[in-house]
Amino acid sequence: MSNERAWEEKYQIRSLADVPRPAAFLQEHAAMLGTGGTALDIAMGAGQNGVFLAQRGYVVTGVDRSCAASALSQEYARSKGVSIDAVAADMLDWPFPENHFDVILNLYFLEPALAPRIKAGLKKGGLLFFETYTLDQQRFDGPHNPDFLLKPNELLESFRDLFIAFYHERIEPNGKGSYRAVASMIAMKG
C-alpha cells in the first residue's frame, strides 16, 4: 500500500471521537498567540490544532494532502462552532502567500524544502510553532525513516534568521509506555 493511500485510509476511518487533543506544545505556549489574525496549519491532519487557533479568533487555513483529513477537519471545526479553510493539497505544490500569516504551525511534519517558504509566508512579528521527531526517535516506537527525522540542531539551523523565542530538544515519556524524541521551537520573524 502506498504511503499516500495509507494516510487517506487513516482519516477515512476516523470519527470526531477519534480526533486527538491539540498538541500539548501548542497548548503550553498559547499565551504567546494573542487573539486573532491569520494562521496556517501545515499537514493539519484531523484539524485539532487549527481548530485550537480558530477558537482564539484566528482565520485558519489548514493544508493536508489527504482529502479525507480535510473533510474530517472541517467537520471537526463545525462541531466546535468555528470554521477553517481546509485545503487538500501537497504542501510542496501549495502556493504560500508571502507576508501573510501571523502564525504558522508545523507540527509532526518534516519537509526541509519548505523552510524558505515558511519564512516568507510569515508576516513581520509572525510566529512559527514547529515540533517534530528527532533522529533519536529511531530508538523507540514511531517513525524511523531518517528522511523524516531532525538531525541535532537542524531545526535551529533551518530557521536561524528568525528570532528563536523557545527551543528544546528532548527525550520524554510519550504517555503510552514508551518515549518520544522531539525538537520544539517557537520563532518570530523580525
Q: Could you tell me the residue ranges of all domains in the chain?
A: 3-188
CA dist 101 and 135 (Å) reads 30
Q: What is the pLDDT of residue 141?
A: 84
Q: What is the pLDDT of residue 1?
A: 45
Cβ burial of 87 (10 Å; 0-12, 13-18, 19+) is middle
Q: What is the pLDDT of residue 65?
A: 93
Q: Which of 16, 10, 6 is nearest to 48 (CA)?
A: 16
* pTM recorded for the entire structure: 0.92
Give Cβ neighbours of residue 110 (< 8 Å, ≥ 6 apart).
Answer: 132, 133, 148, 149, 150
| Beta strands, E only, the chain | 37-42, 58-64, 85-88, 101-107, 122-133, 163-173, 179-188
Q: Which of 99, 121, 122, 118 is nearest to 132 (CA)?
A: 118
The set of cell numbers assigned to 122 is: 510569515
Q: What is the pLDDT of residue 13?
A: 61
Which fold, 3-188? Answer: Rossmann fold (3.40.50)
* Own/partner long-range contacts of 167-173 (Cβ < 8 Å, ≥24 apart): 169/134, 171/136
* pLDDT average per 10 residues of sequence, the chain (190 residues): 62 72 96 94 95 97 94 94 96 94 97 96 98 95 88 96 97 89 97
